[in-house]
């Protein structure tokens, strides 16, 4: 099933009071192109994140990475949320994988976590400041928005790194395999893009890995590996002066030509066309 893709109209947009009217946009399932951070400040609401129903309550922090499938089901009571979102255009110059290296798989696994009141108050104040900036007379330029996103990702990485792996929930063996696989990809994607390598590292058959990843994420193994590789390439193309050849070699592609074909297969354009777009 293909979900409609939803992006944000500007690089950075923040709200101190996301109400039902804004949430109604997401009443139908859609796939985010943007990256959104949010904090529930009042009430509760049921949300489907990557097809899993989750109840979001006061004090819960939500991280919706690009590619997340989201749907709001509604609330039993008044709900208030403050948030900050970054468009696909803004994300192109930021390497989310590198910024959250030690916690990316935890974020995928648990996109909603409870915060204590002190930490929640920091985010409330930060989102309030971003809301003033993003709606004020001096709209943040792309580079500034990217710096803000880097700062938020750093904070989120710290938040997740200090949490125990399991939060009162027994994970199934399939979920464990999926989490270990994603973490292995993040650690090895610059040198290894073969599914067989990851199956061997996990000590399971390629068939077992493929079936498990498909059941847990809905994606196939090579698609997930490519997703991580492409995030890195896009960030390097947009935010560095590295040549196409340098980027190709930094990711251990055998040649710039092979690298170009790989990128075009996944993005539909050449690396140079993407850099200039």
How far apart are alpha carbons 10 and 19 in whole angstroms? 20
Domain boundary among 134, 161, 188: 161
Q: Which residue has the higher pLDDT, 206 or 95?
A: 206
Contact predicate 40/81, CB 8 Å:
yes
What residues pair up with 44 in beta bridges, in sequence order?
57
180 and 269 co-located in one domain: yes
Looking at residue 245, which CATH number applies to its domain? 1.10.10.60
12 and 102 co-located in one domain: yes
222 and 265 co-located in one domain: yes
104 and 228 co-located in one domain: no
Number of domains comprising the chain: 2
Residue 199 falls within a domain, yes or no?
yes
Average pLDDT, the chain: 86
182 and 127 co-located in one domain: no
How far apart are alpha carbons 113 and 104 in whole angstroms? 14
Give the relative orientation of helices 256-267 and 221-239 as an angle to the nearest 10 degrees: 110
How far apart are alpha carbons 107 and 98 in whole angstroms? 14
- Give residue-wise pLDDT tens across range 118-134: 999 999 999 999 999 88
181 and 127 co-located in one domain: no
Residue 148, H or E segment? helix 142-161
Give the relative orientation of helices 206-217 and 221-239 as an angle to the nearest 10 degrees: 70
Residue 24 falls within a domain, yes or no?
yes
pLDDT computed for residue 24 by the predictor: 66
116 and 27 co-located in one domain: yes
Looking at residue 124, which CATH number applies to its domain? 2.60.120.280
Contact predicate 94/239, CB 8 Å:
yes
Proportion of the chain above pLDDT 90, given as a percent: 44
124 and 83 co-located in one domain: yes
Q: Is 69 helix (H, G, I), strand (E, B) or coil?
A: strand
Domain boundary among 130, 161, 192: 161
Question: What mean pLDDT is predicted for residues 172-185?
Answer: 84
How far apart are alpha carbons 260 and 146 in whole angstroms? 26
Smallest CA-to-CA distance from 251 within 228, 224, 222 is with 228
Smallest CA-to-CA distance from 39 within 88, 97, 80, 82 is with 82
Look up the domain containing 202 and give its range.
Answer: 173-276
206 and 150 co-located in one domain: no
140 and 210 co-located in one domain: no
Domain boundary among 108, 136, 161: 161
Question: What mean pLDDT is predicted for residues 160-169?
Answer: 65
How far apart are alpha carbons 179 and 260 in whole angstroms? 30
13 and 71 co-located in one domain: yes
Residue 23 falls within a domain, yes or no?
yes
pLDDT computed for residue 168 by the predictor: 46
Residue 157 falls within a domain, yes or no?
yes
- Give residue-wise pLDDT tens across range 35-50: 999 999 998 888 888 7
181 and 154 co-located in one domain: no
Smallest CA-to-CA distance from 11 within 157, 128, 132, 149 is with 149
């Amino acid at each position: 099933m293909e979900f409609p893709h939803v992006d944000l109209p500007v690089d950075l947009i923040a709200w101190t009071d996301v109400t039902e009217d804004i949430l109604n946009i997401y009443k139908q399932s859609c796939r985010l192109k943007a990256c959104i951070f949010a904090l529930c400040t009042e009430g509760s609401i049921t949300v489907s994140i990557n097809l899993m129903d989750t109840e979001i309550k006061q004090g819960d922090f939500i991280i919706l990475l690009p590619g997340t499938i989201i749907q709001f089901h509604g609330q039993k009571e008044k709900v208030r949320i403050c948030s900050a979102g970054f468009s696909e255009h803004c994300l192109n110059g930021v390497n989310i994988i590198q910024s959250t290296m030690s916690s990316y798989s935890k974020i995928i696994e648990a996109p909603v976590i409870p915060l204590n009141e002190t930490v929640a108050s920091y985010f409330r104040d930060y989102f309030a400041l971003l809301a003033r900036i993003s709606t004020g007379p001096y709209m943040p330029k792309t580079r500034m928005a990217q710096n803000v996103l880097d700062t938020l990702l750093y904070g989120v990485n710290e938040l997740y790194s200090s949490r125990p792996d399991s939060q009162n929930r027994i994970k199934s063996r399939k979920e464990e395999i999926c989490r270990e696989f994603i973490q292995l990809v993040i650690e090895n994607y610059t040198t290894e893009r073969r599914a067989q390598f990851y199956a061997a590292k996990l000590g399971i058959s390629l068939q077992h890995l493929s079936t498990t990843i498909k059941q847990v994420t809905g994606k196939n193994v090579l698609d997930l590996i490519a997703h991580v590789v492409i995030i890195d390439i896009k960030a390097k193309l947009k935010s560095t002066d590295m040549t196409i050849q340098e980027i190709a070699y930094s990711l251990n592609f055998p040649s710039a030509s092979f690298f170009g074909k790989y990128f075009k297969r996944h993005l539909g354009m050449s690396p140079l066309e993407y850099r200039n777009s």
